[in-house]
Amino acid sequence: MTTVDGWLGRIHDDPGDISVAVDDGQGHTVERRAADQQPLASAVKVVPLAAYARAVAAGTLDPNERISVSEWERWWFPGTDGSAHEHARARLPGDTVTLDQMVSAMIRESDNSVADYLRDRLGDRALVDAAEAGGWHDFRPPSLLGNVIRLLDPGVGDVWAAARRYATDSEYRAAMRSKPGPSSYQDLAAWADTTHTGSAQQLAAMHRAIATGDFGPGADIARAQLEWRPAPNGFVAMGFKGGSLPGVLTDAFYLRRADGTVATAVLLDRHMSETTYATALKSYSWQKLLLRAMAEPDMLHRLACAV
């Protein structure tokens, strides 16, 4: 799990749990189970980002609006996001942040609370329409906060209602935060397998539409958030958003070339053993594989052999 070759072997050996969709933007594609639904973890955040971008482009949201940290943190569940919120706050100190800075925390540090904040503020229709504009049909808005609440209280039926109650009812919020959660990896992985899903094709469509501009108004705003790290040599920009939950790894990339062509790559992995999952997170070698498959014909051919 710490080398590109190791990931090629894993992809070959686990056809039932790993979905792949790679398009080099020059007429060559590799896919396996690309239409199948799998847990997405934080890779799904490209959709609330897209909805935000459309709202800014339409003038219904001001990216420079100041948001109090206390308002932001009504949607935060401490200890459930891998310290993403704490890392975001270290980068964005102070009592207020701009709305655009909040959204950057959702993409860069993968702060979960921002996704639910945007869903509450924009409404489900805005998310569904944004997904549709990106080629992701029949999108169902998730609640990352609601998923956590359901983990702690399996009797919760409507996770979005529970999330909104958590954000508005301080007593309920305190009660949820005091609940002990499962400690075993097996229990956490079983829960992760029941969280929101999507396909490699759907994620790839969103990223490609944003990268090419086919998404429509707001594509440039979304790109500005996704392209926060430098691109590899030979490309003008790189956008990406991935995620992880116990037993689940997800990633979606795009690379833009100076000639206007766009490469995309998505990998979705599930049902990972505790050892495999922990080892993979030490090196992020699957990301190296995806980037090389988009840029190097030989690596794309090797991936085609693996699938």
Q: Is the pLDDT of residue 1 over 90?
A: no
- CA nearest to 23, candidates 207, 213, 196: 207
For 206-231, write each residue's pLDDT tens digit. Answer: 999 999 999 999 999 999 999 999 99
The pLDDT of 132-138, averaged and rounded, is 97
Model pTM score: 0.98
For 48-76, write each residue's pLDDT tens digit. Answer: 999 999 999 999 999 999 999 999 999 99
Tokens at 298, concatenated? 């030989």
SS (H, E, C) 5-58: HHHHHHHHHCCCCEEEEEECCCCCEEEECCCCCEECHHHHHHHHHHHHHHHHHH
For 22-41, write each residue's pLDDT tens digit. Answer: 999 999 999 999 999 999 99
Q: What is the pLDDT of residue 110?
A: 98
- The Cα 148–Cα 176 span in angstroms is 10
For 84-97, write each residue's pLDDT tens digit. Answer: 999 999 999 999 99
Domain residue ranges in the chain: 4-43+197-306, 45-192
Q: What is the pLDDT of residue 75?
A: 98
Q: What is the pLDDT of residue 205?
A: 98
- The Cα 38–Cα 16 span in angstroms is 11
Tokens at 84, concatenated? 């993403």
Q: What is the pLDDT of residue 169?
A: 98
